[in-house]
């Protein structure tokens, strides 16, 4: 009878009577539901260096994994920072999974997916040998599709696949964008960075037109943002006008304060977390920068990961 009293006429447990066991049951059911949906592939890209792409990859991977999503990070950058930032030693030679997938005709993705020290986060490592890819594949037909073919075989194993891209427009970048369903773009509030997003927009249009692809910049947010600085305010207005549906605010306007926009703040915690090989949002979730990335994860989950 006690159990019967704990549910309403529709058989739904009222929120004030939900036990930890009930919450865990719902989470388990949600995980099962997600497993029936193929992974969403998100390339984090900006053709300007130092724009926070790897920081974003690591922060989102940590937060989405904490929520129970199975996350695969594919490091497509020869610097290999996403690899070391996840606590995996720098890849060298044949241990570089992304290089192996692109350069070996008999490559099998399952052979190069490795676990990380962090629950629910897996990795295909990048590293220095990726600098050889452009020359090695220059004469190959359809060389923009090589990564995509492998990613397709991994969609049923994960909930979300995050692609870390190089800062320049290269064959690696084209492979990542062609493999992705959508693009997330962090932007520093500076003149050169705003030019970088303009270049990326042109690249996306070319890929859609020339390679018969349908992809868009779906998520945009400012990083190293200081709301009281005029330059940052101008950048926010520019991005909001250019990407009204894609812009992610990391805070809400407050009635008693003048609103100048929002973004991920600067923080020394970013470098500390990467040195420790721990995603920012797991390293110290209490900081303002972690909370901002959690807000970004909220929006991406709502837009892209709920079936």
Higher pLDDT among residues 61 and 1, named by residue: 61
H, E, C per residue of the chain: CHHHHCCCCCCCCCHHHCCHHHHHHHHHHHHHHHHCCCCEEEEECCCCCCCCHHHHHHHHHHHHHHCCCCEEEEECCCCCHHHHHCCCCCECHHHCHHHHHHHCCCCCHHHHCEECCCCCEEEECCEHHHHHHHHHHCCCCCHHHHHHHHHHCCHHHCCEEEEECCCCCCHHHHHHHHHCCEEEEEECCCHHHHHHHHHHHHHHHHHHHHCCCCCCEEEEEEECCCCCCHHHHHHHHHHHHHCCCCECCCCCCCCCCCCCCCCECCCCHHHHHHHHCCCHHHHCCCCHHHHHHHHHHHHHHHHHHCC
Higher pLDDT among residues 50 and 265, named by residue: 265
Whole-number pLDDT of residue 194: 83
Higher pLDDT among residues 223 and 11, named by residue: 223
Per-residue pLDDT tens digits for 118-157: 999 999 999 999 999 989 998 888 999 999 999 999 999 9
Whole-number pLDDT of residue 195: 82
Q: What is the pTM of this model?
A: 0.86
């Amino acid at each position: 009878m006690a159990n019967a009293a704990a549910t309403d006429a529709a058989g739904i447990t009222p929120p004030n009577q939900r036990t930890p066991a009930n919450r865990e049951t719902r989470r388990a059911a949600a995980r099962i539901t997600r497993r029936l949906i193929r992974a969403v592939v998100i390339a984090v890209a900006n053709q300007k260096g130092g724009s926070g792409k790897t920081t974003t990859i690591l922060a989102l991977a940590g937060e989405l994994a904490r929520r129970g999503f199975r996350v695969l990070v594919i490091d497509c950058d020869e610097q290999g920072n996403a690899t070391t930032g996840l606590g995996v030693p720098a890849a060298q030679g044949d241990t570089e999974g992304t290089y192996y997938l692109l350069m070996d005709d008999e490559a099998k993705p399952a052979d190069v997916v490795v676990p990380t020290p962090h629950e629910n986060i897996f990795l295909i490592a990048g590293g220095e040998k990726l600098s050889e890819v452009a020359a090695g594949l220059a004469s190959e037909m359809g060389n923009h599709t090589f990564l995509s073919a492998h990613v397709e075989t991994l969609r049923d194993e994960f909930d979300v696949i995050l692609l870390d891209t190089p800062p320049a427009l290269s064959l690696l970048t084209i492979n990542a964008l062609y493999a992705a369903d959508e693009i997330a773009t962090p932007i520093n509030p500076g003149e050169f960075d705003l030019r970088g997003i303009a270049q990326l927009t042109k690249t996306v249009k070319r890929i859609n037109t020339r390679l018969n692809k349908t992809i868009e910049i779906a998520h945009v947010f400012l990083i190293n943002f200081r709301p009281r600085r005029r330059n940052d305010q101008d950048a926010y207005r520019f991005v909001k006008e250019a990407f009204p549906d894609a812009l992610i605010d990391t805070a809400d306007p407050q009635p008693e304060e003048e609103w100048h926009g929002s973004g991920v703040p600067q923080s020394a915690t970013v470098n500390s977390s990467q040195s420790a090989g721990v995603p920012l949002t797991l390293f110290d979730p209490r900081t303002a920068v972690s909370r901002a990335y959690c807000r970004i994860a909220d929006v991406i989950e709502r837009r892209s990961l709920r079936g």
